[in-house]
Amino acid sequence: MIPPSRLRAGKGFSFVEAIFTIAIIGVMSTLVIAAISNASRDAHRVMARQQQASVQSALTAWVMAQNRVGNTAQVRSLENVRTTYNALGTSMARFNLLVPNPSSPDPNLRAGFIDQTTADHILDYTGSSTDKLKSAALDNAKQYLSLPTWQSGDFPRVDLVNE
């Protein structure tokens, strides 16, 4: 005769063991989903930082290109360039300084300071109803770019702002 304790061992999980197993699987799947979600959010934030750096580089290139007057040997002061920049009161207007302009006689403005694909993506994603420069990555990270007023004694900057 087989003892009763050995009979139960061969029939599978008890109800309590099954509940514990299901609970452990549920907790583990929650952790995996949270990790994947965090990785996605982190990727959007990294992309947003890269886009901020790209626009900042383009803005710096624009400032450097404005130091001379056309094809002449004349030089514009940084204060004069700052006045021109600040006269445009919105981030969108300031961003448009960086976008390629094929009809411009100035070769620098024709080529632009930011690549056309990036400019188109930001312009399309931002739309005309807001002054918050956006892209898909910025939107997913719940952030936007802002080109604030250029302060005296400083250099123009691109701010990455949380919504």
The Cα–Cα gap between 31 and 47 comes to 24
Q: CA–CA separation, 27 vs 14, rounded Å?
A: 20
In a domain, 10, yes or no: no
Cα angle at 44 between 50 and 97, to 5 degrees?
40
Residue 127 lies in a domain: yes
pLDDT at 10 over 90: no
Answer yes or no: is 71 within a domain.
Answer: yes
The answer to whether residue 6 sits within a structural domain is no
Express each pLDDT in 81-120 by its tens digit: 999 999 999 999 999 999 999 998 888 888 999 999 999 9
For residue 131, the model assigns a pLDDT of 87
Find the mean pLDDT for residues 120-127.
92
Residue 139, domain extent: 16-162
pTM score: 0.76
DSSP codes of every residue in 85-108: HHHS-SHHHHHHTTS--TT-SSHH
Q: How many domains does the chain fold into?
A: 1
In this structure, is residue 1 part of a structural domain? no
Does the residue 107 lie in any domain? yes
Percent of the chain with pLDDT over 90: 58
**pLDDT averaged over every residue in the chain:** 88
pLDDT in tens, 16-41: 888 988 999 989 988 888 878 778 88
